[in-house]
Structures are given as C-alpha cells and as structure tokens.
Amino acid sequence: MVNVGEKAPDFELLDTDLKVRRLSDFLGKGRPVVVLTFPAAFSPVCTKELCTIRDNMSLLNKANAEVIAISVDQPWALKAFKEANKLNFTLLSDFNRQFIEKYGLVLEDLLGLKKLAKRAAFILDEQGVVRYKWVSDDPRNEPPYKEILNLVTAMTVSKSGGCG
C-alpha cells in the first residue's frame, strides 16, 4: 500500500506502443504527475472516467500536469481504447499485475473477473512523493475530478510562487 507522504515506488510498464515506461520517466520535470488506475478498458464507467479526464486535459495542461492511466488490460487493447476515445494522455498496461500489487490496488473479483485494478487516483510531486490519494473499493465510483484538478492547480501555483 502506498500512502500520502511516501515516495511512490517506481515501475516498468508497457505503453500502447509497447515501449517500456517507468515512473521515473515522468518525474523531475517540474510538474505534478496524476496517476489513475481503472478496472477495464471499454467498460462504461472507465470510459466515462477517462473521457472526463480527456475533456479536462486543457485545464490539467494549464496546471502543467502529466497524466498516466493504468489498467491490467493488454497494451493492444489499451491502444484500441485510446484511439476509439481519442485519449490524449499516456495509458500503461499492468498485465502482469505488478503495479496494482505493489500499490495495494488489487480488486479481487469484479463479476467473475479476477485481480483487476481498483479505481484510484494519486497526485505525485516532481520528486515522486504522493501528495494525494483516492482509492475506491466500488468500481462504480468515479474519482473526485474537481478535487484532483484543484490540488494539481494549487501545487503548480505554490511552486511558481503565485497567489493561491
């Protein structure tokens, strides 16, 4: 289990182009990193969640945030999901379930499907320290989008020394 105030463990996962990506690839760029996990590509709630993130990317980009979404789906399924929904952020495949086990996000059973990712959201600072964590045991719950956006914006404003 990864908690607020702890350094997020690094990982190696495949992206939709079968390139190995590590958490460290996204850190140290002077911006917060939003890490989302979701149970299954093409499912109704996951599609709604990731399309909501897509539709708010201009605000996240304005806040200088990087977004990564992770599921246990195969990379090519995630690629089809990304293309079908015109998702404009990185999707990573945890098909070996190493990430969800390391982060304590295993959804043991969902309608007979075993060991999916719980729906979760983390905000990491540029050093990879967890500044925010939201995890749902109910896969029907969507993350608190406004709360995430407000915190990412506040992190960016405080870093730049602006008023907040």
pTM of the model: 0.90
When pLDDT is cut at 50, 70 and 90, the band that residue 158 belongs to is: low
Give Cα 110 to chain centroid, integer Å: 20
List the CATH number of the domain containing 110.
3.40.30.10
Q: Which residue has the tokens 């909501």?
A: 52
Backbone angles phi, psi at 9, to 5 degrees: -65, 140
32 found inside a domain: no
Which residues are known catalytic residues? 46
Helix or strand (DSSP H, E) at 101: helix 98-102
pLDDT digits (tens, 9 = 90+) for 29-71: 888 999 999 999 998 889 899 999 998 888 888 888 899 999 9
pLDDT tens digits, one per residue of 97-134: 999 999 999 888 877 778 888 999 999 998 999 999 99
Residue 33: inside a domain: no
- Residue 147 located in a structural domain: no
The structural domain count of the chain equals 1
